[in-house]
């Protein structure tokens, strides 16, 4: 239902003044205001019978005073430009289970719009504005602006309780409707799935088993180490006791090694060393240089002489 109301300011400092509003639509003759009462004092109310969308209304107001009539300037308007739409209604929501996330849940909000016949026929195009807030933060409103469809999807709302409301206006008008009745929606946390519960249970059992085994077996670490990592044997020659090598009894060692193929006993012999003296002259004096040489190197005694002129 389309209706509208016009108001005017009265003339100041004058009593017993009456007002008359005349208007015209299209090429019709001027008509007087149909209702001076319903819109309040100094107003003219146009009911649905006298309201036509997409018609240009031109009007003026005449004040009848003691000194004579005073007429205002003509004011023209299109009802579509001044219309204030009724608020949307039947605001509802659907919880979207398929978009469940760890942080919260997604919801789809929808509502019904007024003047449905006019909107369906394309006479009026509406835009919507949705606002919502977390009840724990009452002063923090979040707004979804310039919505072209009567529904909106909100993704991953954190856990908590929210308040929602919506309003609308015509694209030809700057006047928003009042806000719709609000609804409260509670977003609860996602319950743990069976797979998650099984994972937590298995992890807890594994941790407990680790601690039990750790505290029970660590004192026996050497035995476990010897079982899992047996010691590497030291290299040794079969038939030869390491004690012989440490004592250095060469005869016994040779006797053991003689059993190996190709092993020859070492040959030991006594070598004779001789003392050799070498004489040389130095500054007119005979000097003797003594050396000790092995018999294998003893071939000749060499005496060197240095002749000096006296």
CB 173 within 8 A of CB 195: no
Is the model's pLDDT at 283 over the cut of 60?
no
- Of 281, 276, 283, nearest to 302 by C-alpha is 276
Q: What domains lie within the chain, and their CATH numbers? A: 2-81+300-309 (2.60.40.10), 89-187 (2.60.40.10)
- What are 167-178's pLDDT values in tens digits? 999 888 888 999
CB 23 within 8 A of CB 74: no
* Burial zone of 145 (CB within 10 Å; 0-12 exposed, 13-18 middle, 19+ buried): exposed
Is the model's pLDDT at 308 over the cut of 50?
no
Is the model's pLDDT at 41 over the cut of 50?
yes
Please indicate whether residue 198 or residue 21 has the higher confidence score (pLDDT). 21
What is the rounded CA–CA span in Å between residue 99 and residue 156? 8
DSSP-based helix, strand, coil % in the chain, nearest 5: 20, 40, 40
Q: Please say whether the dihedral angle defined by the alpha carbons of residues 156, 158, 164 and 168, taken in this order, is positive or negative.
A: negative
Average pLDDT over residues 29-47: 92
Question: Residues, the chain, total?
Answer: 310
What is the rounded CA–CA span in Å between residue 30 and residue 58? 9
Average pLDDT over residues 44-57: 87
Partners of 56 in beta bridges: 78
Pairing of strands 4-7, 285-294: unpaired
Please indicate whether residue 74 or residue 225 has the higher confidence score (pLDDT). 74
Please indicate whether residue 142 or residue 240 has the higher confidence score (pLDDT). 142
- Of 160, 154, 164, nearest to 96 by C-alpha is 154
- What are 208-242's pLDDT values in tens digits? 877 676 656 555 556 666 666 667 766 666 655 66
Question: What was the pLDDT predicted at 243?
Answer: 66
Is the model's pLDDT at 264 over the cut of 90?
no
Is the model's pLDDT at 247 over the cut of 50?
yes
* Burial zone of 23 (CB within 10 Å; 0-12 exposed, 13-18 middle, 19+ buried): buried
Question: What was the pLDDT predicted at 113?
Answer: 84
DSSP 94: E
Is the model's pLDDT at 47 over the cut of 80?
yes
Please indicate whether residue 146 or residue 114 has the higher confidence score (pLDDT). 146
Partners of 36 in beta bridges: none
Q: Please say whether the dihedral angle defined by the alpha carbons of residues 159, 165, 170 and 172, taken in this order, is positive or negative.
A: negative
Pairing of strands 126-134, 89-101: unpaired
- Of 187, 189, 169, 188, nearest to 179 by C-alpha is 169
Q: Structure pTM?
A: 0.52
């Amino acid at each position: 239902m389309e209706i509208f109301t016009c108001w005017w300011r009265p003339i100041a400092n004058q009593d017993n003044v009456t007002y008359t509003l005349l208007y015209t639509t299209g090429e019709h003759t001027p008509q007087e205001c149909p209702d001076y009462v319903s819109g309040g004092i100094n107003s003219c109310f146009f009911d649905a019978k006298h309201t036509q969308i997409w018609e240009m209304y031109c009007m003026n107001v005449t004040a009848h005073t003691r000194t004579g009539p005073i007429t205002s300037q003509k004011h023209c308007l299109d009802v579509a430009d001044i219309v204030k739409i009724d608020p949307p209604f039947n605001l509802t929501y659907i919880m979207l289970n398929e978009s469940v996330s760890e942080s919260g849940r997604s919801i789809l909000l929808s509502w019904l719009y007024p003047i449905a016949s006019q909107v369906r026929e394309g006479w009026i195009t509406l835009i919507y504005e949705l606002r919502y807030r977390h009840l724990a933060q009452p002063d923090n409103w979040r707004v979804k602006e310039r919505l072209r469809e009567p529904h909106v999807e909100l993704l991953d709302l954190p856990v908590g309780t929210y308040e929602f409301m919506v309003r609308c206006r015509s694209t030809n008008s700057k006047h928003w409707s009042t806000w719709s009745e609000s609804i409260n929606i509670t977003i609860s946390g996602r319950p743990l799935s069976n797979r998650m519960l099984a994972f937590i249970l298995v992890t807890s059992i594994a941790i407990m088993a680790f601690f039990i085994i750790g505290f029970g077996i660590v004192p026996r670490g050497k035995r476990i180490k010897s079982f899992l990592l047996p010691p590497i044997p030291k290299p040794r020659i079969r038939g030869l006791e390491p004690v012989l090598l440490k004592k250095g009894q060469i005869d016994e060692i040779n006797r053991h090694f003689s059993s190996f193929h190709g092993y020859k006993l070492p040959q030991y012999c006594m070598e004779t060393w001789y003392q050799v003296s070498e004489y040389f002259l130095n500054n007119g004096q005979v000097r003797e240089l003594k050396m000790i040489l092995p018999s294998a190197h003893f071939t000749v005694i060499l005496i060197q002489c240095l002749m000096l002129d006296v």
